[in-house]
Amino acid sequence: MRSQTLPIFSGGTGRSGTTIIGKLLSQHPEIRGGKPYEVRFINDRFGLLDLCYGVENFERRWKQTFSQIYLNLLSPRKRTIFFKQFESNFRGKWWLRENRIGEASGLHRSISEQEREELLLTFKKQFPRDHIQASRNFLFDFLYYQRHNRGEQIWIDTTPLNISVADRIYLLLPEAKFIHMKRDGRDTVASVLKEKWGPKTPTSAMRWWIRRMNISMEALRSVPKDQVLELDLEKLVVTNREESYRQLLEFVGVDDVPQMRKYFEVEMPAERVRIGKYRDEIPAWKDLDKLYFNALEKLNWS
């Protein structure tokens, strides 16, 4: 295994600022992100977490049951079904995909095909002996091979679902830190309704947001509090910029630098986040208010 960097995982419900925080932090010379910002092979289906711990419990019940039987009955040496799927995905949908704005993205931006095959071959040899250590080795070797590796001590991934599986990431990477990007659920709903993958009605979108928040908050209970930063998008960009920026720097453990400060001031102006935009975009916004405040009162997220 190569020398380790500190992994940081930003995440949230989606459309909550996970990518912008990655772009901001990667302006720092000690932090690497991007190419791609979402590696996918850690927490996607049949990724490293599934190889080690089985299918997540918010999947369909039969999938969870099957994966637990699979893991309990078969040693890592015999877990060929999951491993073959991991290899297929690494050469396929994780390697080359289309991002949300129609551009080509994926792991091909980071490493060569030859390096990819070397990583997979080593992983296949190591996995039967110690599947947890082999999975850790695979990640850190991948980070070493990245073309844009400049020896940074910190690496950030911005997959939104990172927080939903923070408990499992912490099992695999107990040194990891987590940035939970939060945003007013009503404005999040207004954003996801525009996405191809998103729910189609405000009510279903709010239910989706509540479920995602439930899963995220439950997962974070298994992570030490000093390894988690709860960061509100509205405070960072609009209402409490300097204090939020300072908290971010302190949590990550880096000093302010001109490149990062410039990005914060130029690329993240207060106008970028329009608080309360849902009132202009959703006709029945008062009904959305009721669902939102009922959720906050019942679950104490605020």
For position 144, which CATH number holds?
Answer: 3.40.50
Strands (E), 126-184: 154-157, 177-182
Both tokens of 275, joined, read 């608080």
pTM of the model: 0.94
Residue 171 lies in a domain: yes
Inside any domain, residue 284: no
DSSP 3-state assignment of 280? helix
d(CA 188, CA 38): 20
Q: Which amino acid is at 70?
A: Y
Determine the length of the chain: 302
**Residue 116 falls within a domain, yes or no?**
yes
Residues in CB range of 62: below 8 A, 6 or more apart: none
State the pLDDT at residue 73.
Answer: 73
- 180-195: per-residue pLDDT in tens? 999 999 999 999 999 9
Number of domains forming the structure of the chain: 1
198 in any annotated domain: no
User: What is the tens place of the pLDDT at every residue in 209-237?
Assistant: 999 999 999 999 999 999 999 999 999 99
Q: Which domain holds residue 229?
A: 6-181+225-272
Nearby residues of 201 by Cβ (< 8 Å), 6 or more positions away: 193
Q: How confident is the model at residue 62 (pLDDT cuts 50, 70, 90)?
A: confident
Residue 212 lies in a domain: no
The whole-angstrom separation of Cα 235 and Cα 229 is: 13
Alpha-carbon distance of 92 to 114, in angstroms, equals 15
Within a domain: 1: no
Residue 131 in any domain: the answer is yes
Contact by Cβ (8 Å): 12, 160: yes
Residue 92 counted as domain residue:
yes
**Contact present, 155 and 6 (Cβ < 8 Å):** yes
